[in-house]
């Protein structure tokens, strides 16, 4: 059994699977990281992912257009971002409880829409793989990295984009400033509320895209499709110490460990109670790393703190 596991083909398939599994986590966590760097916690990522997933699924079901499905998911994500920004930035509501509200809304709303508009689960064509010319032909490497659907490539391309935006642009400087000392940023002429509104919209749009990536990858929608992925994405932001590369590392680790567990089960290497225990491995590993990271790196100082210009 173990000899089957230690083969090149299994190794390659497991890593490729890990990358696919990591994609929704990565998209959602990248967006959430941007928001948290500006001081806004959004526990509603899961709900927005569900809304994005349903929007993409339903659009694809009715129009058969993948491009339109992704655009609609992005759009509803942005709208949810505007709503969340209104609640937490303009109205200065407590971020934690508002996020839970967004999650519950997404959970109930998508179930309602699915029951009323679709009913019985109807499959849609899965997102097609795009093999990158030349690169996909490289032995092992090609299958692991260059034979995925477009949203997988997009997710990983957004990592350097997010890094550049946060660290090398004026907007990124503003994000970091309002996330650490919003009062000082305000004194220097940075609009705290506008900056946070932008980051919230970015984060929710990414969450909508993450939902679309999930629905289009599995080719179906079902009640509670995301099954907690949005909450894991939030944990991965802490895991990655609010840095895009760290977030990507966390998503990949979670995805690859999950894929490895699946492979071990597929090959019958672990069975019964051991199999059940092993299924918890990704979550346990995440918690362990989370504890280590949280001891070393501090969160943005103004995280979860509403900004009130009059009071500052």
Partner 1 sequence: MRIRTTPKTAVALVAGLALVAGACGSDDDSSDSADDAEEAVDEAEETLDSVADEAEEAVDTAVDDTEEATENSAAEETDEAAGDGETIRVGIVAPSASNDLAFTQSMVDSVERVEAERDLEVAITDGTFVVEDAAAAIRGYAEDGFDLVIAHGSQYGGPLEEIAPDFPEVSFAWGTSVDTFGLDNVYAYTTNADLGGYVNGVMAAQLTESDVIGVVGPVEVGDAKLYVDGFSNGVAATNPDVTVNVNYIESFSDVALASEAATSLVANGADILTGTAQMVVGATGVATESGLPWFGTQSNQTPLGEDIVVASQVYHWEIVLNQMLDSLEGGTLGGETYTLTFENGGLEMEYNDAFELDEAVRASADEAVAGLTDGSLTTGVTE
Residues lying near partner 1 in the complex (CB under 8 A): 4, 9-10, 13-14, 17, 20-21, 24, 47, 83, 87-88, 91-94, 96-98, 100-109, 111-112, 114-115, 119-123, 126, 214, 217-220, 222-225, 227, 229, 258-259, 262-263, 265-268, 272, 275-276, 279, 303-305, 308, 311
Minimum distance between the CB of residue 18 and partner 1, rounded to whole angstroms? 9
Q: Please, which residue, 137 or 271, has the CB nearer to partner 1?
A: 271
Least distance to partner 1, CB of residue 230, Å: 12
Q: Give least dist CB 169 to partner 1, A.
A: 28
Minimum distance, C-beta of residue 304 to partner 1, in the bound complex (Å)? 6
Cβ proximity to partner 1: between 113 and 132 the closer is 113
Cβ proximity to partner 1: between 20 and 171 the closer is: 20
193 versus 222: smaller Cβ distance to partner 1:
222
- Nearest approach, Cβ of 299 to partner 1 (angstroms)? 9
User: What 3 state SS string does the chain have?
Assistant: CHHHHCCHHHHHHHHHHHHHHHHHHHHHHHHHHHHHHCCCCCCCHHHHHHHHHHHHHHHHHHHCCHHHHHHHHHHHHHHHHHHHHHHHHHCCCCHHHHHHHHHHHHHHHHHHHHHHHCCCCCCCCCCCEEECCCHHHCCCHHHHHCEEEHHHHHHHHHHHHHHHHHHHCHHHHHHHHHHHCHHHHHHCCCCHHHHHHHHHHHHHHHHHHHHHHHHHHHCCCCCCCCCCHHHHHHHHHHHCCCCHHHHHHHHHHHHHHHHHHHHHHHCCCCCHHHHHHHHCHHHHHHHHHHHHHHHHCCCCCCCCCCCCHHHC
Report the nearest approach of partner 1 to the CB of residue 10 (Å): 7
Query: Looking at beta carbons only, is 4 or 167 nearer to partner 1?
Result: 4
| Cβ-based nearer residue to partner 1, 93 or 132 | 93
């Amino acid at each position: 059994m173990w000899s089957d596991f230690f083969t090149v083909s299994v190794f390659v398939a497991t890593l490729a699977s890990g990358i696919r599994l990591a994609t929704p986590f990565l998209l959602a966590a990248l967006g959430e990281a941007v928001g948290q760097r500006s001081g806004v916690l959004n526990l509603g990522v899961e709900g927005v992912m569900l809304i994005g997933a349903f929007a993409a699924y339903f659009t694809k079901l009715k129009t058969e257009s993948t491009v339109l499905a992704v655009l609609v998911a992005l759009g509803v994500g942005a709208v949810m971002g505007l709503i969340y920004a209104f609640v937490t930035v303009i109205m200065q509501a407590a971020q934690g409880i508002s996020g839970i509200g967004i999650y519950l809304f997404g959970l109930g709303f998508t179930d309602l829409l699915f029951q009323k508009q679709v009913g019985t689960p109807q499959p849609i064509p899965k997102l097609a793989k795009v093999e990158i010319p030349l690169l996909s032909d490289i032995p092992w490497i090609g299958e692991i990295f260059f034979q995925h659907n477009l949203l997988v490539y997009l997710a990983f391309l957004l990592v350097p984009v997010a890094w550049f935006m946060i660290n090398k642009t004026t907007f990124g400087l503003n994000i970091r400033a309002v996330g650490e000392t919003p009062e000082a940023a305000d004194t220097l002429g940075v609009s705290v509320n506008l900056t946070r509104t932008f980051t919230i919209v970015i984060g929710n749009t990414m969450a909508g895209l993450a939902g679309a990536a999930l629905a289009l990858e599995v080719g179906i929608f079902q009640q509670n499709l995301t099954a907690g992925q949005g909450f894991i994405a939030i944990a991965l932001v802490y895991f990655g110490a609010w840095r895009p590369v760290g977030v990507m590392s966390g998503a990949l680790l979670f995805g690859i460990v999950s894929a490895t567990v699946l492979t071990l089960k597929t090959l019958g290497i672990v069975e019964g109670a051991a199999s059940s225990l092993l299924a918890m491995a990704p979550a346990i590993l995440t918690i362990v790393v989370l504890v280590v990271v949280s001891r070393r790196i501090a969160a943005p100082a103004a995280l979860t703190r509403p900004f009130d210009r009059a009071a500052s």
